[in-house]
Amino acid sequence: MKIVYHDIFRHVYDYDPAAAAGRMEAIADELKELYEFVEPRPAEEDDLLLVHQKSHVDWVRTHYRHIYDIASLAAGGAIKAAELAVQGEPAFALIRPPGHHASPGSSWGFCWFNNVAVAVQKLRKNGIVDRVLIVDTDLHFGDGTDNIFKDVPEVFYYHLYSIDGLEKTLNYCRDRELVAVSAGFDSHKNDWGYLLTTEDFKKIGRMIAGHARNFCGGRFFTVLEGGYNHQVLGKNVRALLEGYDLG
């Protein structure tokens, strides 16, 4: 497992909870002694245009240039993680801003560009994979990801509502070539959602990795979405990755 990360992601680029000081550090400090860290490169405009309208990309670049730069690097981090995954090296993109609320022509919910969608679509465009399962563990439904792929039957988007539901979805999607995970941690019992335990994230990781190794040639990657309680965020990310190691 490699961690795709850049110190630029520590910068406080906005006033929302995803950009808060200390958020990246809470995760990086938990993982730095356990995994190899690698740096991404920014996504190219052509990468962003795989899933976004040019008017949206231009709007972000024109009106929020400082955010455009870090959001492009975040999308590039997701691409790097996806490229590692298809080379046989599962990867976690420790990036921000998050992305799953970014649709083709709009964005909200602390998101600007849809990181996981950009990465998936680049692999598909290059003919590396075609059929993909996207699992979203965030508290909030990834409307942007759903909007991007709603008319693409080869890409199945699943928003986690229960661990039993995840098991059924994994059984249903045994024909996929890759699993992409939009990893949100705000559903934790000490975060906004008051739903999942740290041990639940380990179980989720074990299930996803086991599925990927049994049916997808071991190809899966993960990108960070939500999660805002810095006291538990790093531990929850670590639990998910430990689950991957066990899967």
101 is catalytic: yes
- Element housing 98 (H / E): none
pLDDT 10s digits, 149-183: 999 999 999 999 999 999 999 999 999 999 999 99
Range(s) of the domain holding residue 113:
2-246
Work out the mean pLDDT of the chain and round it to a whole number: 98
10-43 pLDDT, tens digit each = 999 999 999 999 999 999 999 999 999 999 999 9
| d(C-alpha 86, C-alpha 178), whole Å | 8
pLDDT band of 197, cuts 50, 70, 90: very high
Whats the size of the chain, residue-wise? 247
How confident is the model at residue 29, as a pLDDT? 97
Residue 107 has pLDDT above 90, yes or no: yes
Number of H helices, E strands in the chain: 9, 7
On whether the CB atoms of residues 188 and 197 are closer than 8 A, the answer is yes
The pTM of this model reads 0.97
Q: Across residues 114-120, what is the average pLDDT?
A: 99
- Here the CATH number for the domain that contains residue 153 is 3.40.800.20
Task: Point out the catalytic residue in the list 6, 56, 100, 101.
Answer: 101
Mutual angle of helices 198-215 and 163-172, in 10-degree steps:
10
- CB burial class (10 A; 0-12, 13-18, 19+) of residue 125? exposed
> 63: helix, coil or strand?
helix
User: Both tokens of residue 126?
Assistant: 């290059």
Q: Tell me, what's the pLDDT at 40? A: 98
pLDDT of residue 87: 96
Mean predicted confidence (pLDDT) in 216-241: 98
Instruction: Provide the percentage of residues in the chain whose pLDDT is more than 90.
Output: 99
- 233, with CB counted inside 10 A (0-12, 13-18, 19+), is buried
Structural domains in the chain (count):
1
- What tens digit of pLDDT does each residue of 40-97 get? 999 999 999 999 999 999 999 999 999 999 999 999 999 999 999 999 999 999 999 9
CA separation, residue 83 to residues 74, 170, 211 (Å): 14, 22, 19
pLDDT at 247: 81
Residue 65, judged by CB atoms within 10 A of its CB (0-12, 13-18, 19+), counts as exposed
**42 preceded by cis ω (within 30°)?**
no
CA 151, CA 134: separation in Å to the nearest integer?
14
